Amino acid sequence: MNATQQEEKEYLEEIKEKLGLAVRRVDTAVKQFSEELRQKKQYIHENQSGMDEADMVAADQSINRMAFTGEGAVARKRRLLKLGQSPYFGRIDFAPQGQAAAAVYIGVHSFFDEQQRQNLIYDWRAPISSLFYDFELGEAAYATPSGTMEGTIGLKRQYKIRDGRLEFMLDSDVNIHDDVLQQELAKSSDDKMKNIVATIQRDQNAVIRNEEATVMVIQGVAGSGKTSIALHRIAFLLYRYRETIQAKDILIISPNKVFADYISNVLPELGEEHIPELGMEELAADLLENRYQFQTFFDQVSALLEHHDAAFIKRIRFKSSFEFLSQLNQYLLHIENTYFTVRELRVGRTVVPAAFIQQKFRSYHRVPLLKRFALVANDVRAQVRDAAGRKLTGQEKAAIGEGIPRMFKLHNVPDLYRDFFRWVGRPELLKLHPGQPLEYADVFALIYLRIRLEGLPGYDHIKHLLVDEMQDYTPVQYAVLSRIFRCRKTILGDVSQTVNPYSASSAEAIERVFPQADVVRLYRSYRSTIEITAFAQHIAPNPNILPLERHGPAPMVTRYPTRQEELEALRQLITTFKTSGSHSLGIICKTLEQAEQAYEALEAPGVHLLTDESTKFKEGVIITTAHLAKGLEFDEVAVPFVSARNYTTEVDKGMLYIACTRAMHRLTLTHTNEPTAFLPAG
Ligand SMILES: Nc1ncnc2c1ncn2[C@@H]1O[C@H](COP(=O)(O)OP(=O)(O)OP(=O)(O)O)[C@@H](O)[C@H]1O
């Protein structure tokens, strides 16, 4: 051990001691609070009879205040204990212009030493910590609330401290964290997504800390860290705007419950609370007030995988286009201008001229169309009352209330939706049968019309919306999101990882709905070895992808004479995996039916089947579909049944790409008969 290492070890011990002291101080404070709380409660109990209402309210408030302070102390203790395990991961020695250099230690949380009255560890989200992510040695600068601070970085050091022990430290002079990053990526996967604070890259940091964008769209290749970055961005925003935004004010729209569970650890690991999450279908059910049965996205994709139905594809394609949204908007203008056939209205001896009704109708142009009639009717009633100089009878009032809407051609949203297809001359594109579930492609179009025609309450309490897997949502869905969530948004995904090529949205398409969006593109891929990335590239080439220099075994494609032998090989693979030291093996099939068959054949302790009904991500061996595996990752992936017969269409190809890009270290594909043409030859 050299002198520097010795010094650092001693410093670590010093910090741990201070952290221990701080924990003891919090403990004493908590004990004191509980004692005071107990005394207060006892006092109230004993003196209840002599207290008036004001005394009681005051006592209640003081108890609540004490409990709140107590909770704060408990949270602080949790943070301190966590810091005790791994107090910091980085250090920079920064000399602001004209001043001496000082060491800045950076950790998951900050630590302010009360005795020294000094910050000994800076939170990774603090302004000064951005120096660690953005600069190498030499001139550097960071933004502070009062302006830019310029200076020089004389030293940059990284640490791996686990269970309070310094495992290694490394001075970086030129490379941005490369060695540490390599070590992190070579590790076996955890059962949940983990935080990446120690190795956030410069371009990722820019996304995490962006405060200006009202809508941020992140288009990144498979494994580029989109989901990780988005979650760190949330943690950053919670820190930066802690006075105004809390975890409960943020909403994640996630593709399914397993994914939600998979990512659920990241924010608590960063000391933040759990963020509420909602699936698109749940949102739809809520917006439709559970009045309609509808097909889910998973059902739609399954139907596409099971059989080729040209008419079904045509319907999906049309409803996923930007033109569909434009035509819906044009239709709304059209009905506003032509479906209100105004006639004069006679009430008793009073005649209300058509022009009056028309003018009132126009004056409410900001009100959703179908809600205007009631307002116009009120105006007409007032007009008649003034003209006749008397109160109206109940019958007259009702006649006006019915007469005005009758001047409009259609009154309910499903009828208008059907009418829209007649208007565009494509009635065959709507399959709407009473008593049958709505097709998924119609769900958000119907919601959009409801918003525009009837108005729907927004989710105004949400201050930031996070949408993952953006490629799976269509322009109409984004139009709904933009009207329901009037807050800032982070939207991320990868157009190459679409499970439905007929409804995929690229960053460009999303930009058309949100012209104000800041679009960031990420090309560096962190998840898979170079060999796996190169293999997946053959399925869906992207010349811009930059795989990280990390090697592993070449993916294996093996043909078996029979299905029995193929399954036997998979059984063998599971046995080998169990002794390999890896944490997770994903056996990823094309359809749920195939996954169920594989599960039946391979069922064993520690082997789990994940379906669209599952809610938890499980460690060990998971058998599932590509659709459900999207967003997840595994140490090892096996893709069975990759025959030419099984993988033929564009939808199949997308599934194959998703399945292969889930692998971090090892990828195996198996088949009987001819292999699919999507795979590299030989
Ligand atoms: N800066 C980083 N340091 C360490 N690991 C990183 C970094 N960036 C990404 N990773 C790792 O790369 C893997 C992929 O990250 P993530 O799942 O966030 O990517 P993604 O772009 O959302 O992937 P996909 O779209 O393919 O699901 C994860 O294991 C993540 O921890």
Q: Is the CB of 204 under 6 A from ligand 1?
A: yes
C-alpha–C-alpha distance, residues 444 and 450, integer Å = 9
pLDDT in tens, 408-451: 999 899 999 999 999 999 999 999 877 889 999 999 999 999 99
pLDDT-derived band at 204 (thresholds 50, 70, 90) equals very high
Measure 185 CA to ligand 1 centroid, in angstroms.
9
Answer yes or no: is 226 a known binding residue: yes
681 assigned binding-site residue: no
Which one, of 258, 277, 271, 233, lies nearest residue 633 by Cα? 258
Does ligand 1 have an atom closer than 6 angstroms to the CB of 201? yes
**Is 682 part of any known ligand binding site?**
no
228 lines ligand 1 (CB under 6 A): yes
Q: How many other CB atoms are found less than 10 A from the CB of residue 356?
A: 17
Q: What is the DSSP letter of 424?
A: T
Residues 348 and 332: their CA atoms lie apart, in Å, by 35
Beta bridge partners of 669: 557, 639
Listed residue (87, 151, 75, 154) closest to 119, CA to CA: 87
Bridge partners, 639 (sequence order)? 669
For residue 205, the CA-to-ligand 1 centroid distance in Å is 13
Q: Whose CA is nearest to atom 30 of ligand 1?
A: 225
- Measured from the Cα of 189, ligand 1's closest atom is 29
C-alpha distances out from residue 277 to 249, 264, 522, Å? 11, 10, 25
Q: Which residue has the higher pLDDT, 73 or 287?
A: 287
Residue of minimum CA distance from atom 27 in ligand 1: 631
Nearest CA-CA partner of 135 in 121, 154, 119: 154
d(CA 610, CA 622): 7
What average pLDDT does range 394-400 have in this prediction?
A: 94
Q: How far apart are CA 382 and CA 342, in angstroms?
A: 18
The helix (H) or strand (E) run that includes residue 241 is: none
Q: Identify the DSSP state of 371.
A: H
pLDDT at 357: 96
Atom of ligand 1 nearest to the CA of 230: 18
Res. 190: pLDDT tops 80: no
Q: Output phi, psi for 424, to 5 deg.
A: -85, 0
To the question of whether residue 320 is assigned a binding role by annotation, the answer is no
Beta bridge partners of 345: 352
Using a 10 angstrom Cβ sphere, with 0-12 exposed, 13-18 middle and 19 or more buried, the burial of residue 173 is exposed
**Eight-state DSSP code of residue 176:** S
Helix and strand counts by DSSP (H, E) for the chain: 24, 23
Better-scored residue on pLDDT, 59 or 285: 285
Q: Is the CB of 199 under 6 A from ligand 1?
A: yes
On whether the CB atoms of residues 86 and 161 are closer than 8 A, the answer is yes
173, 137 Cβ separation under 8 angstroms: yes
Q: How far is the CA of 664 from the centre of ligand 1 (A)?
A: 10
Distance 356 CA to ligand 1 centre (A): 62
Structure tokens at 32: 């004191």
Name the strand (E) or helix (H) holding 617: none
Give the pLDDT confidence score for residue 68 in this predicted structure: 63
Write down the pLDDT at residue 72: 77
Mean pLDDT lowest for which of 71-75, 223-227, 649-653?
71-75
Supply the mean pLDDT for the chain. Answer: 91
Are 510 and 310 in contact by the 8 Å Cβ rule? The answer is no
Confidence class of residue 1 from pLDDT cuts 50, 70 and 90?
low
621 neighbors 587 (Cβ within 8 angstroms): yes
- The answer, yes or no, to whether any atom of ligand 1 lies below 6 A from the CB of 197, is no
Q: What are the residue ranges of helices labelled H in 429-500?
A: 440-453, 475-484
Q: pTM for this one? A: 0.90
Rg of the chain in Å (alpha carbons): 31
308's enclosing H/E stretch is none
Q: Are strands 277-278 and 250-253 parallel, antiparallel or unpaired?
A: parallel
- ipTM associated with this complex: 0.99
- By alpha-carbon position, which residue is closest to atom 23 of ligand 1? 223
**What is the rounded average pLDDT of the residues 338-366?**
94
- What is the mean predicted confidence (pLDDT) over 575-580? 93
Binned at pLDDT 50, 70 and 90, residue 506 comes out as confident
Q: Which of 70-84, 255-269, 272-286, 489-503 has the lowest mean pLDDT?
A: 70-84
8 versus 55: the higher-pLDDT residue is: 8
Q: Measure the CA–CA gap between 213 and 210, rounded to whole angstroms.
A: 7
Whole-number Å distance between alpha carbons of 255 and 277: 10
Residue 242 has pLDDT above 80, yes or no: yes
Pocket test for ligand 1, best of 526, 630, 665, 667 (most atoms within 8 A of CB): 526
| Confidence band for 76, pLDDT divided at 50, 70 and 90 | confident
581 is in an annotated binding site: no
453-481 residue pLDDT tens: 999 988 999 999 999 999 999 999 999 99
- Give buried/exposed letters for 554-592 (b at 16+ CB in 10 A, else e): ebebeebeebeebbeebeebbeebbeeebbbbbbbbbbb
pLDDT at 6 over 70: yes
Angstrom distances, CA of residue 217 to CA of 132, 193, 394, 518: 25, 21, 55, 6
pLDDT of 13 > 90? The answer is yes
Other Cβ atoms closer than 10 A to 675: 20
The crossing angle, in degrees rounded to 10, of helices 322-338 and 475-484 is 60
Q: What residues pair up with 365 in beta bridges, in sequence order?
A: none
Spatial separation of the C-alpha atoms in residues 366 and 378, rounded to whole Å: 17
Q: What b/e string do you get for 295-321 counting C-beta neighbours within 10 Å, with b at 16 or more?
A: bbbbebbbebbeeeeeebbebbbbbbb
Token pair 């999450």 in the structure block, residue: 277
Which residues lie closer than 8 Å to 14 by C-beta, 6 or more apart? Answer: none
Whether 527 is in the pocket of ligand 1, judged by its Cβ within 6 Å, is yes
| Ligand 1 in reach of 631 Cβ (< 6 A) | yes
Distance between CA atoms of residues 66 and 635, nearest Å: 47
- Six-digit token pair at 75? 């949270």
How large is the average pLDDT for residues 57-65?
Answer: 72
CA of 218 to the centre of ligand 1 (A): 13
What tens digit of pLDDT does each residue of 524-550 get? 999 999 999 999 999 999 888 998 889
Please state, in angstroms and rounded to a whole number, the distance separating the CA atoms of residues 134 and 214: 23
Nearest atom in ligand 1 to the alpha carbon of residue 201 is: 1
Evaluate whether 667 touches 657 at the Cβ level (below 8 Å): no
Compute the distance from residue 255 Cα to the ligand 1 centre, in Å.
Answer: 17
Residue 426 in contact with residue 419, Cβ under 8 Å?
A: no
222 lines ligand 1 (CB under 6 A): yes
| Ligand 1 contact via 224 beta carbon (within 6 Å) | yes
Q: Which atom of ligand 1 is nearest to the CA of 220?
A: 21
Measure the CA–CA gap between 108 and 394, rounded to whole angstroms: 68
The reply to whether ligand 1 has any atom less than 6 angstroms from the CB of 227 is yes
